[in-house]
């Protein structure tokens, strides 16, 4: 009877082993300088050509650029560095700056830094990603673009523990950079709802906004002035050799910004794409 039971349990165990997904192999971070994390199944996909703008073309954000370059360089050299939150108006160069800084430092010292992007919807898998990365010898810049949370979203709690405060904490070879249109990453309705329904409103709001406190470096981005906007489009025209005189360029760029209702780096780039198309020029 006992032998039959052992054989049955063994068969069940073998069947479960066959059904279980294989243990993911450790990623080879030396295969590329940039990766995208995909959850379910977990894995890192290498990116051969990162969609980015040269750091010299980013105008009007000199202070933010200087601070982020310094923080990232210290991290790449194995020194202490802060998690960074780049927040502010849309299209003002937040994600472009992160990617440009990564490229600039790797140009100075090839292979010094790996860029790993995690999508907003994959934030709950962040602890698993960190287990992938902490075994690597490479310094990893973990990047999440357009990070924010809504009222029913509980993923921010796991993110708080990962950034700081958890038992394991953030691996020494990983730093986390995020961009957001919101300074506190949470919607105003979410914060106000917690304030109105909690027994102690102050404590409830503190618990919500404490997520942003996990980022030691805060960099604010705002819409640019007209002169800066013109500097941006002039930089693109010079870089790509577009045949247009300055007076006409300013007139067309200003008209484009008026029709879009804002001036920003994104609006400038969209104008340049339109201009290059009309002039029959490639931006490759």
Which residues lie across from 87 on neighbouring strands? 180, 220
Look at residue 45 and tell me whether its pLDDT is greater than 80.
yes
**Amino acid 188: pLDDT:** 54
Provide the domain limits for residue 239: 226-279
**215 and 114 in one domain?**
yes
Look at residue 22 and tell me whether its pLDDT is greater than 60.
no
Average confidence (pLDDT) over 33-48: 90
**85 and 33 in one domain?**
yes
In a domain, 15, yes or no: no
Q: pLDDT higher for 116 or 22?
A: 116
**Amino acid 13: pLDDT:** 72
In a domain, 18, yes or no: no
What is the secondary structure of 181-196 as a DSSP string? SSSSSB-HHHHHHHHH
CB 115 within 8 A of CB 33: yes
- Report pLDDT digits (tens) over 127-186: 889 888 988 889 999 999 988 777 666 677 767 777 765 666 788 999 999 999 877 776
CA atoms within a 13 Å half-sphere pointing along the CA-CB vector of 183: 6
Look at residue 239 and tell me whether its pLDDT is greater than 90.
yes
Q: Encoding tokens for residue 269?
A: 């780039």
Secondary structure percentages of the chain, helix, strand, coil, to 5: 50, 15, 35
Q: Encoding tokens for residue 221?
A: 């981005």
Which residues lie across from 36 on neighbouring strands? 45, 117
- Report pLDDT digits (tens) over 241-279: 999 999 999 999 999 999 998 899 999 999 999 999 999
Q: pLDDT higher for 17 or 51?
A: 51
Tell me how far apart the alpha carbons of residues 83 and 121 are, in angstroms, rounded to a whole number.
Answer: 20
CB 144 within 8 A of CB 176: yes
- Is the whole-model pTM more than 0.95? no
Q: How many CB atoms lie within 10 A of CB 133?
A: 22
**242 and 102 in one domain?**
no
CB 217 within 8 A of CB 84: yes
Tell me how far apart the alpha carbons of residues 51 and 53 are, in angstroms, rounded to a whole number.
Answer: 7
In a domain, 19, yes or no: no
In a domain, 47, yes or no: yes
Q: Where are the alpha helices (DSSP H) in the chain?
A: 2-19, 62-76, 94-108, 126-133, 155-163, 188-197, 201-213, 226-240, 246-260, 265-279
**202 and 79 in one domain?**
yes
**Amino acid 29: pLDDT:** 84
CA atoms within a 13 Å half-sphere pointing along the CA-CB vector of 254: 9
In a domain, 12, yes or no: no
CA 86 to the chain's CA centroid: 9
**103 and 215 in one domain?**
yes
Q: Which of 12-16, 123-127, 200-204 has the highest mean pLDDT?
A: 123-127
CB 52 within 8 A of CB 96: yes
**Of the candidate ranges 110-119, 147-156, 196-205, the one whose mean pLDDT is the lowest:** 196-205
Total number of domains constituting the chain: 2
In a domain, 284, yes or no: no
Q: What is the mean pLDDT of the chain?
A: 84
**207 and 82 in one domain?**
yes
Enclosing H/E stretch for 123? none
Q: Which of 3-12, 100-109, 119-128 has the highest mean pLDDT?
A: 100-109
**230 and 217 in one domain?**
no
Last residue of a domain, one of 199, 221, 243: 221
Angle at 27 between CA 94 and CA 146, to 5 degrees: 20
CB 68 within 8 A of CB 101: yes
**235 and 178 in one domain?**
no
């Amino acid at each position: 009877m006992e032998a039959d039971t052992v054989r049955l349990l063994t068969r069940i165990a073998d069947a479960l082993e066959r059904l279980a997904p294989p243990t993911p192999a450790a990623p080879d971070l030396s295969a590329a300088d940039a990766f995208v994390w995909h959850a379910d199944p977990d894995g890192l996909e290498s990116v051969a050509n990162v969609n980015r703008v040269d750091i010299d073309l980013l105008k009007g954000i000199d202070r933010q650029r200087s601070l982020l370059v310094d923080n990232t360089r210290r991290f790449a050299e194995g020194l202490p560095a802060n998690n960074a939150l780049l927040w502010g108006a849309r299209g003002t160069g937040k994600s472009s700056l992160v990617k440009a800084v990564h490229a600039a430092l790797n140009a100075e010292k090839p292979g010094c830094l790996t860029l790993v992007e995690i999508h907003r919807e994959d934030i709950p898998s962040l602890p698993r990603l960190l287990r992938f990365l902490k075994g690597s010898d490479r310094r990893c810049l973990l990047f999440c673009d357009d990070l924010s949370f809504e009222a029913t979203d509980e993923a921010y709690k796991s993110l708080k523990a990962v950034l700081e405060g958890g038992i394991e904490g953030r691996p020494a070879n990983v730093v986390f950079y995020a961009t957001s249109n919101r300074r506190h990453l949470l919607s105003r309705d979410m914060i106000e709802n917690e304030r109105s329904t909690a027994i102690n409103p102050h404590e409830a709001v503190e618990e919500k906004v404490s997520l942003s406190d996990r980022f030691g470096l805060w960099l604010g981005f705002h819409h640019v002035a007209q002169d800066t906007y013109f500097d941006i489009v002039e930089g693109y025209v010079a870089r790509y050799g577009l045949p247009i005189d300055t007076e006409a360029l300013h007139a067309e760029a200003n008209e484009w910004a008026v029709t879009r209702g804002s001036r920003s780096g994104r609006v400038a780039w969209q104008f340049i794409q339109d201009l290059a198309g009309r002039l029959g020029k490639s931006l490759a």
